[in-house]
Amino acid sequence: MILNGVDFETYFKNYPDDKGYFGPYGGAYISEELKAAMEEISTAYFTIAQSRQFIAELRRIRKEFQGRPTPVSHLERLSNKLGNVQLYVKREDLNHTGAHKLNHCMGEVLLAKYMGKKKVIAETGAGQHGVAMATAAAYFGMECDIYMGTEDIKKQAPNVARMKILGANVVEVTAGQATLKEAVDAAFAAYAKEYKDCIYCIGSVVGPHPFPMMVRDFQHVVGEEARAQFLDMTGHLPDAIVACVGGGSNAAGFFSGFLNDPVDIYGIEPLGRGTALGDHAASLQYGTEGVMHGFNSIMLKDENGDPAPVYSVASGLDYPSSGPEHAFLHTLGRVKYDVINDEDTIDAFYELARLEGIIPAIESAHAVAYGIKLAKKMGKGSVLINLSGRGDKDMDYIIEKYGIR
Ligand SMILES: *Cc1c(COP(=O)(O)O)cnc(C)c1O
């Protein structure tokens, strides 16, 4: 498939380019010191990650530790209720630790091990990336420092406990608002000092090159499996696929299996409470081009041009930008980015639980809600949704805010 001059047959050879750009988006907007560190990671990635030994080890870990491949399930009762469109979900909720995040964390920490590093550093907001990193670090016997704002530490006590039980060192960040932004700054500052002995592991397809590429590649397994499983189950490709987009890692991996296929692709951002700045985190829908956290992409800015405050009912989606590859696929028109609000998300959350026996993560419920909307509009055909994670982590919040419906 060729679209606006981009050939999707050879897409992965050409994007990103060797400076880390997807068209105008991406790059590495960081200090000279950190640039050297990123180049070391890039070089290692291009040699080590292509080696037969690394690939074989990652494959074994995915099978024997993570429980891959995760299945694709047909949502028969939900499909019947909606009409003639058949809905399916790729079950990343069944990946070890309950979400897709472990896919790239295991890849990043295995790379760190091959590079001879002793420690991994990461930031976390709601704690999901921190738990996945702590899990990977425990598996490989690495030291692990997780930077987390004081405010988030207070709100996310169970995840803080999980990280500590897994042996990670949770470093409290008290600066500024003491949330994710300050945690990212503190983690980068620590990394600049310690990069000889450790690597920094980013939680999504964001940050400076090579992270958007590496994280996408480690998540590619989701799209690759899903495509083969769907073909095997039905004998054809889905008409449409859907994933939620925060930073965009689950979507990037899932989409990467289908970019060269005649399949409509939808990336869903959170519309939260509404369209006013501060009430949503739909950066591709309402944002403009800019640089943050070391990369150029489309982002939501405040009146000073700084990253704007964002909101979503799903803490994993409230990020003021999206990965550079999503900005590129958006500009090209290969992926259609659309939005779903809190209300439709919560309805879909209960609907999937009641009709299918699957409690989704609130993040993933955004994709389910959009799949339901799409099914009503399409009238016939099939839709494959990436169920990025399970809802166990959201139970207390759901019960407190929405009750038991
Ligand atoms: C973190 C998270 C997301 C959002 O991250 P992406 O990088 O956009 O995939 C989505 N779903 C779940 C379950 C998550 O934990």
- Give the residue, by CA position, lying nearest to ligand 1 atom 2: 316
What does the alpha-carbon distance between residue 58 and residue 325 come to, in Å, rounded to a whole number? 24
What's the token pair of residue 169?
Answer: 């060192």
Does the pLDDT of residue 342 top 90, yes or no? Answer: yes
Claim: this prediction has a pTM higher than 0.85: yes
Confidence category of residue 198, pLDDT binned at 50, 70, 90: very high
Q: Closest Cα partner for 27 from 36, 18, 332?
A: 18
Find out whether 179 and 7 touch, Cβ atoms under 8 Å.
Answer: no
What does the alpha-carbon distance between residue 66 and residue 396 come to, in Å, rounded to a whole number? 26
What does the alpha-carbon distance between residue 148 and residue 184 come to, in Å, rounded to a whole number? 8
Over residues 144-177, the pLDDT tens digits come to: 999 999 999 998 899 999 999 999 999 999 998 8
- Neighbouring-strand partners of residue 89: 73, 385
Does the pLDDT of residue 75 top 90, yes or no? Answer: yes
User: Could you confirm whether 388 is annotated as catalytic?
Assistant: yes
Ligand 1 pocket check for 388: Cβ under 6 Å: yes
Give whole-number Cα distances, 306 to 181, 280, 290, in Å: 11, 16, 9
Ligand 1 pocket check for 321: Cβ under 6 Å: no
User: Could you confirm whether 363 is annotated as catalytic?
Assistant: no
Coil/strand/helix, residue 207: coil
Q: Closest Cα partner for 87 from 335, 348, 271?
A: 348
Residue of 104, 205, 250, 254 to mutate, ligand 1, most atoms within 8 A of C-beta: 250
Give CA angle at 186 (183, 187), nearest 5°.
85
Does the pLDDT of residue 134 top 90, yes or no? Answer: yes
Give the per-residue pLDDT at 124. 95
Higher pLDDT, 359 or 404: 359
Does the pLDDT of residue 11 top 90, yes or no? Answer: yes
Atom from ligand 1 closest to the CA of residue 251: 9
Give the per-residue pLDDT at 180. 84
- Neighbouring-strand partners of residue 146: 122, 170
Instruction: Using a pLDDT cut of 70, give the percent of the chain over it.
Output: 100
**Using N-to-C axis directions, what is the helix angle for 52-61 and 101-114, rounded to 10°?**
140
Mean pLDDT, residues 87-109: 98
Q: Classify residue 319 by its DSSP letter.
A: -
Place of tokens 């310690």: 194
Torsional sign, CA 79, 85, 360, 234: positive
Give the per-residue pLDDT at 402. 96
Ligand 1 pocket check for 95: Cβ under 6 Å: no
Find out whether 372 and 348 touch, Cβ atoms under 8 Å.
Answer: yes
What does the alpha-carbon distance between residue 151 and residue 173 come to, in Å, rounded to a whole number? 9
User: Could you confirm whether 101 is annotated as catalytic?
Assistant: yes
Contacts of 404 (CB under 8 A, 6+ apart): none
Mean model confidence pLDDT for the chain: 96
- Give the residue, by CA position, lying nearest to ligand 1 atom 14: 316
Mean pLDDT, residues 25-54: 95
Instruction: Using a pLDDT cut of 90, give the percent of the chain over it.
Output: 95
Catalytic residue among 79, 113, 117, 123: 123
Give the per-residue pLDDT at 182. 87
Coil/strand/helix, residue 152: helix
| Residue 25: CB atoms within 10 Å | 24
Coil/strand/helix, residue 236: coil
Give the per-residue pLDDT at 239. 98
What does the alpha-carbon distance between residue 172 and residue 157 come to, in Å, rounded to a whole number? 13
Over residues 233-280, the pLDDT tens digits come to: 999 999 999 999 999 999 999 999 999 999 999 999 999 999 999 999
The dihedrals phi and psi of 107, each to the nearest 5 degrees, come to -65, -45
| Residue 32: CB atoms within 10 Å | 6
Give the per-residue pLDDT at 184. 87
Atom from ligand 1 closest to the CA of residue 322: 8
